[in-house]
């Protein structure tokens, strides 16, 4: 018999491998993977295109008035990998730019943006069978999620990974500057007033600084089977 479908919430700092574990779990379990960070990125892209988000400021009034016009969905591509759609347009590539990442970090501090994204996220999870990753999934979006993970990795390792990715892409990078950026984002994520990043009391914390992906996935699957066996 197939076990009851549950919600799996995965939170943690930026670049600590949340999406790798979330995707792996979703694939193994036949669940839907939802990248909540992509949703804040899509909002930032929408605002950038409208000219409401510039280097200097955000036109909060305009964004607030139109927040209900932003509809985000996810659809798998030919390889079965989920891609992000903004009002029906595939924006997966565009939302991964540094400009959009920085914009996402800013729009995600606005309470009306969070309220609308949380509403859409809860709607996506209403039939369960989802793995969602982000910063506030176990605390705000799905406080009753049956399985919650909180991932941590040392800032030095996260900076090293990001630095190597940038070098591989042929971008100019300095390790010390990347490390400073990682620490700055951590500080903003954990100290913002609206839904700061924090571990839910009932989340399992995993420091994966010295643990490979396959081992983490096996650990998470083991936990899933234990939880679903208890819930039968
Ligand atoms: O995980 P990411 O880098 O794609 O997230 C983009 C931004 O959105 C990042 O600055 C943190 C923010 N975010 C958030 O505030 N809440 C979430 N549930 C997910 C992401």
Span 120-170, pLDDT tens digits: 999 999 999 999 999 999 999 999 999 999 999 999 999 999 899 889 988
Taking the model in full, what pTM does it have? 0.93
CATH of the structural domain 7-210, one choice from 3.30.565.10, 3.30.70.2860, 2.60.40.10, 3.40.50.300: 3.40.50.300
- For residue 206, pLDDT over 60 is answered with yes
Whether 189 has a pLDDT exceeding 90, the answer reads no
In this structure, the residue with its CA closest to atom 18 of ligand 1 is 134
Q: Which of 157, 172, 132 is nearest to 10 (CA)?
A: 132
Query: Which residue from 14, 15, 34, 40 has its CB within 8 A of the most atoms of ligand 1, so it is best to mutate?
Result: 40
Q: Is 137 exposed, middle or buried, given 0-12, 13-18 or 19+ CB atoms closer than 10 A?
A: buried
Of the chain, the percentage scoring pLDDT greater than 90 comes to 83
Strand partners, 151: 12, 206
d(CA 5, CA 36): 20
Tens-place pLDDT, residues 62-82: 999 999 999 999 999 999 889
Domain ranges of the chain: 7-210
Report pLDDT digits (tens) over 105-120: 899 999 999 999 999 9
Query: For residue 128, what are its two tokens?
Result: 């369960």
Nearest CA to ligand 1 atom 4: 37
Please tell me whether residue 186 adopts helix, strand or coil conformation.
helix
Candidate of 134, 162, 184, 189 to mutate for ligand 1, largest count of ligand atoms within 8 Å of Cβ: 134
Nearest CA to ligand 1 atom 11: 105
Task: Choose one of 10, 18, 21, 36 to mutate for the ligand 1 pocket test, by most ligand atoms within 8 angstroms of C-beta.
Answer: 36
Rounded Cα gap, residues 142 and 154, in angstroms: 26
> Cα(166) to centroid of ligand 1, in Å?
20
Q: What's the 108 CA to ligand 1 centre distance in angstroms? A: 7
Structure-block tokens of residue 211: 């643990």
Q: Which residues pair with 90 in a beta bridge?
A: 85
φ, ψ of residue 89 to 5 degrees: the values are -100, 135
pLDDT in the model for residue 2? 62
CA of 30 to the centre of ligand 1 (A): 24
Strands across the sheet containing 204-207: 32-35, 130-134, 7-12, 147-152, 204-207
Q: Are strands 130-134 and 7-12 parallel, antiparallel or unpaired?
A: parallel
Mean pLDDT within 210-223:
95
Find out whether the beta carbon of 135 lies less than 6 Å from any atom of ligand 1: yes
Asked if 204 and 152 count as a contact pair (C-beta separation under 8 A), the reply is no
Let me know how many helices (H) and strands (E) the chain has, helices first: 8, 8
Asked whether 167 and 113 are in contact (CB, 8 A), the reply is no
Identify the residue whose tokens are 């390792």: 157
Average pLDDT of the segment spanning 17-29: 95
- Atom 2 (ligand 1) nearest CA: 37
Q: What are the structure tokens assigned to 171, written together?
A: 């971008």
Q: How many Å apart are CA 95 and CA 92, to the nearest integer?
A: 6
pLDDT score of 202? 97
Residue nearest to atom 20 of ligand 1 (CA): 37
Are residues 107 and 63 in contact, defined by beta-carbon separation less than 8 angstroms? yes
Q: What is the pLDDT of residue 171?
A: 82
Alpha-carbon span 134 to 140, nearest angstrom: 11
Say which range, 55-69, 84-98, 164-178, has the weakest mean pLDDT.
164-178
104 CB within 6 A, ligand 1: yes
Which atom of ligand 1 is nearest the CA belonging to 141? 18
Pocket test for ligand 1, best of 22, 72, 135, 181 (most atoms within 8 A of CB): 135
């Amino acid at each position: 018999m197939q076990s009851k479908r549950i919600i799996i919430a995965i939170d943690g700092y930026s670049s600590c491998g949340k999406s790798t574990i979330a995707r792996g779990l979703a694939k193994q379990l036949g669940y839907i993977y939802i990248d909540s960070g992509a949703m804040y990125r899509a909002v930032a892209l929408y605002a950038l295109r409208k000219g409401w988000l510039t280097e200097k400021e955000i036109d909060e009034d305009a964004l607030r008035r139109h927040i209900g016009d932003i509809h985000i969905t996810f659809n798998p591509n030919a390889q079965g990998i989920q891609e992000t759609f903004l009002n029906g347009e595939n924006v997966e590539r565009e939302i991964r730019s540094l400009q959009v990442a920085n914009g996402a970090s800013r729009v995600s501090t606005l309470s009306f943006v969070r309220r609308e994204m949380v509403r859409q996220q809860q709607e996506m999870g209403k039939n369960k069978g989802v793995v969602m990753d982000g910063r506030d999934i176990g605390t705000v979006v799905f406080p009753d999620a049956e399985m919650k993970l909180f991932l941590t990795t040392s800032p030095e390792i996260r900076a090293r990974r990001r630095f190597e990715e940038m070098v591989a892409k042929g971008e100019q990078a300095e390790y010390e500057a990347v490390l400073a950026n990682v620490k700055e984002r951590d500080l903003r994520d954990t100290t913002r007033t609206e839904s700061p990043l924090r571990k839910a009391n009932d989340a399992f914390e995993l420091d994966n600084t010295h643990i490979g992906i396959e081992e983490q996935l096996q650990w998470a699957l083991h936990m899933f089977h234990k939880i679903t066996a208890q819930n039968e």
